[in-house]
């Protein structure tokens, strides 16, 4: 039996269950009168809830509370995207219902099917205690699923219309640089101290042409992958499709490597999962890259640029969350130290570009 993956809803993030009952009546299978809600407590961005309607269960996703960055947390886009991706990539959950009437719960939201499995976060789940080579199987599955996602034919499936893959890498640098500058707070060190503009300048000067044009998840990491509770080699679901588009697949790989924590990674992001857990059986960075290269057939000689971009993007995401906390738009205590973590990530990006 797997552990419960939900918790009581955090204070201040409650749903208006009466309004939700009224809205859902007649729209989805289940006993709407018995509606109950719990929260998936992981994650620092969108709010995700489990809805129980008697024996029927759904996952509800909505944007975080308070003002959000322009074009970010677009739940309608995520809903429509899943509707197109799920038929051709089984790890994508099937969307069920979209509500764009903010009067119901205060924001656009959508429902999707609920899938059951385990997610590896900071330690191996107890379900795998007696599974031989569980850590290796899980990390191999992470690599293989990424390569499989990038193997989806975006032209044959019509998914090429999700974005403009030509010039994707240059737009990534420009777009994330703009987000960083808008998210800076009055306690962010000046660029001459922090070096953020030096990172942006380096990324701009060394931007490569796209290695290929594929689906790009844009937030691909181990704790967005749900695995079978009895078999870490079997994927149950790939989650958090909010930023998915079409572009250079190595942008995904670079970001994934940021989460595959390694020596020198900033405090607050170190975990025994990934390269530091090599003694537990997780793939090392070199093994990770070799397996992806073999599975995808891609040349990874320029991977440092993609990893620096990934670290910078992670710094921006963390700083955006911190900026909301700094402005008093959320009081979630988990966000209080994110400003320092964003700065540490900028320093990590500087360290890595020096190896280019």
Q: For 97-154, what is each residue's pLDDT tens digit?
A: 999 999 999 999 999 999 999 999 878 889 999 999 999 999 999 999 999 999 999 9
For position 314, which CATH number holds?
3.90.1200.10
Q: Can you give the pTM of this predicted structure?
A: 0.90
Q: Which of 85-89, 185-189, 273-277 has the lowest mean pLDDT?
A: 273-277
Q: Residue 224 above 50 pLDDT?
A: yes
Flag whether 211 is in a domain. Answer: yes
Please tell me the distance from the alpha carbon of residue 50 to that of residue 354, in angstroms, as a whole number. Answer: 45
Flag whether 4 is in a domain. Answer: no
- For residue 14, the tally of other CB atoms under 10 A from its CB is 13
Q: Residue 16 above 50 pLDDT?
A: yes
Q: Which residues contact 211 (CB under 8 A, 6 or more apart)?
A: 248, 249, 250, 298, 299, 302
Flag whether 6 is in a domain. Answer: no
User: Do 45 and 100 sit in the same domain of this protein?
Assistant: yes
User: Do 165 and 91 sit in the same domain of this protein?
Assistant: no
Task: Report the half-sphere exposure of 68 (CA within 13 A, side-chain side).
Answer: 16
Q: Is 106 helix (H, G, I), strand (E, B) or coil?
A: coil
Flag whether 190 is in a domain. Answer: yes
Flag whether 118 is in a domain. Answer: no
User: Do 160 and 298 sit in the same domain of this protein?
Assistant: yes
User: Do 97 and 146 sit in the same domain of this protein?
Assistant: no
Q: What is the model's pLDDT at position 325?
A: 87
Q: Residue 293 above 90 pLDDT?
A: yes
The count of structural domains within the chain is: 2
User: Do 79 and 131 sit in the same domain of this protein?
Assistant: no
User: Do 150 and 287 sit in the same domain of this protein?
Assistant: yes
User: Do 109 and 147 sit in the same domain of this protein?
Assistant: no
Q: Residue 165 above 60 pLDDT?
A: yes
More confident residue, 66 or 100: 100
Domain extent for 99: 17-113
Show the tokens assigned to 117. Answer: 């499995």
Flag whether 7 is in a domain. Answer: no
Segment 174-202 mean pLDDT: 94
Q: Which residues contact 153 (CB under 8 A, 6 or more apart)?
A: none
Mark out the alpha helices in 151-283 (DSSP H runs).
168-183, 191-194, 196-205, 249-259
Flag whether 9 is in a domain. Answer: no
Confidence of residue 281 (pLDDT cuts 50, 70, 90): confident
Q: For 38-61, what is each residue's pLDDT tens digit?
A: 999 876 678 999 999 999 999 999
Segment 294-308 mean pLDDT: 96
Q: Which of 73, 89, 113 is the last residue of a domain?
A: 113
User: Do 131 and 245 sit in the same domain of this protein?
Assistant: yes
Flag whether 258 is in a domain. Answer: yes
User: Do 36 and 145 sit in the same domain of this protein?
Assistant: no
User: Do 163 and 298 sit in the same domain of this protein?
Assistant: yes
Answer whether 108's CB lies under 8 Å from 63's CB: yes
- Percentage of the chain with pLDDT > 90? 71
- For residue 187, the tally of other CB atoms under 10 A from its CB is 10
User: Do 56 and 201 sit in the same domain of this protein?
Assistant: no
Q: What is the model's pLDDT at position 330?
A: 79
For position 67, which CATH number holds?
3.30.200.20
Answer whether 296's CB lies under 8 Å from 145's CB: no
Please tell me the distance from the alpha carbon of residue 54 to that of residue 293, in angstroms, as a whole number. Answer: 46
Q: Which of 83, 113, 143 is the last residue of a domain?
A: 113
User: Do 41 and 167 sit in the same domain of this protein?
Assistant: no
């Amino acid at each position: 039996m797997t552990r419960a993956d939900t918790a009581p809803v955090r204070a201040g993030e409650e749903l208006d269950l009466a309004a939700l009952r009224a809205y859902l009546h007649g729209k989805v299978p289940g006993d709407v009168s018995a509606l109950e809600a719990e929260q998936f407590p992981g994650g620092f961005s969108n709010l995700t809830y489990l809805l129980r309607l008697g024996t029927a269960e759904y996952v509800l996703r909505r944007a975080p509370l308070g003002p959000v960055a322009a074009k970010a947390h677009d739940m309608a886009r995520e809903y429509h995207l899943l509707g197109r991706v799920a038929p051709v990539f089984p790890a994508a959950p099937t969307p069920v219902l979209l509500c764009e009437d903010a009067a119901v719960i205060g924001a656009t939201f959508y429902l999707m099917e609920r899938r059951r499995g385990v997610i590896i976060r900071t330690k191996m789940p107890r379900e795998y205690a007696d599974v031989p080579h569980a850590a290796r199987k899980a990390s191999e599955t992470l690599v293989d699923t990424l390569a499989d996602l990038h193997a989806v034919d975006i032209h044959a499936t019509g998914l090429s219309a999700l974005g403009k893959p030509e010039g994707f890498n240059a737009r990534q640098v420009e777009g994330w640089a703009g987000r960083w500058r808008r998210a800076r707070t009055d306690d962010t060190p000046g660029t001459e101290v922090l070096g953020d503009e030096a990172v942006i300048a380096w990324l701009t000067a060394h931007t490569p042409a796209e290695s290929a044009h594929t689906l790009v998840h844009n937030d691909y990491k181990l704790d967005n992958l749900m695995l079978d509770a009895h078999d870490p080699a079997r994927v149950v679901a790939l989650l958090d499709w909010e930023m998915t588009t079409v572009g250079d697949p190595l942008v995904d790989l670079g970001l994934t490597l940021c989460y595959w924590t390694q020596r020198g990674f900033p405090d607050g992001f170190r975990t025994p999962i990934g390269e530091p857990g090599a003694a537990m059986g997780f793939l090392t960075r070199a093994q990770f890259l070799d397996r992806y290269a073999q599975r995808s057939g891609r040349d990874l000689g320029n991977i440092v640029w993609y990893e620096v971009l990934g670290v910078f993007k992670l710094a921006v995401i963390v700083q955006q969350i911190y900026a909301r906390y700094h402005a008093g738009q959320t009081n979630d205590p988990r966000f209080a130290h994110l400003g320092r973590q964003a700065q540490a990530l900028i320093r990590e990006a500087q360290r890595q570009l020096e190896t280019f």
